[in-house]
Amino acid sequence: MAAFEIEEVEEAFRHYWYTGMIREDWNAWADLFTEDVVYLERVLGTMHGRETVRNWIVPLMEQYGEIYGVYNWHMADPSGRVVFHMINRRDNPSGEGVMDFPGITILQYAGSNQWSSEEDYWAEKLSVQQWQEYGKALKKYDPDHRLKRTRKDWGNGPGWTIGKTSFWDWPDRQRT
């Protein structure tokens, strides 16, 4: 395996996090992978190639635009391996609290601000429970909550892991 300066790996990871989890620019996020990336999504299977990942992630994140990723921790080493723990979060349509399920991702850095592999592992049973609870809360409190795409609780991570309070708060975003 190639050896990288840890600062380069850390900077690439922060850019990866910002582009996807904070900025939610899923086309630009897909561009952070090598053309021949291998992406293992534990529940959905293995994808090969940047365009396959793009064709999966862009419509998926549009469909589930109410969910956002909250940073918990990460570790990186000079081999380019980065492991991080995050929370997949939806704000509760009641306006009180959040609904979460955890996930762990393993990335392999390839240099030049690109990643050659990603493996995602998340708590499938908890995600189904969260989705069901969210659906009930939508009916009870706010059927249009999904369209608001709120991000009210980014957790207690470092400043670079904290985004805006709504997807729509970015100046280039327009509600459709």
Q: What is the pLDDT of residues 140-152, one digit of tens each?
A: 999 999 999 999 9
Q: What is the pLDDT of residues 33-55, one digit of tens each?
A: 999 999 999 888 999 999 999 99
Helix (H, G, I), strand (E, B) or coil at 55: helix
For residue 169, tell me if it sits in a domain.
no
* 86-109 average pLDDT score: 97
Q: What is the pLDDT of residue 160?
A: 96
For residue 1, tell me if it sits in a domain.
no
Q: What is the pLDDT of residue 43?
A: 85
Q: Count other Cβ atoms within 10 Å, centred on residue 39.
A: 23
For residue 171, tell me if it sits in a domain.
no
Question: Strands, DSSP E only, in 92-172?
Answer: 98-111, 114-122
Q: What is the pLDDT of residue 175?
A: 76
C-alpha–C-alpha distance, residues 20 and 23, integer Å: 6
For residue 146, tell me if it sits in a domain.
yes
For residue 137, tell me if it sits in a domain.
yes
Q: What is the pLDDT of residue 174?
A: 79
Task: Give me the sheet containing 45-48, strands edge to edge.
Answer: 45-48, 33-41, 114-122, 98-111, 81-91, 68-76
In the chain, how many domains are there?
Answer: 1
C-alpha neighbours within 13 Å on the C-beta side of residue 86? 23
* 154-171 average pLDDT score: 95
Give me the CATH number covering residue 146. 3.10.450.50
Phi and psi torsions of 71, nearest 5°: -70, 135
Q: Count other Cβ atoms within 10 Å, centred on residue 47.
A: 20
Q: What is the pLDDT of residue 173?
A: 87
Q: Which domain holds residue 36?
A: 6-162
Q: Are the beta carbons of 166 and 151 closer than 8 angstroms? A: yes
For residue 176, tell me if it sits in a domain.
no
For residue 168, tell me if it sits in a domain.
no
Q: Are the beta carbons of 29 and 107 closer than 8 angstroms? A: no
For residue 174, tell me if it sits in a domain.
no
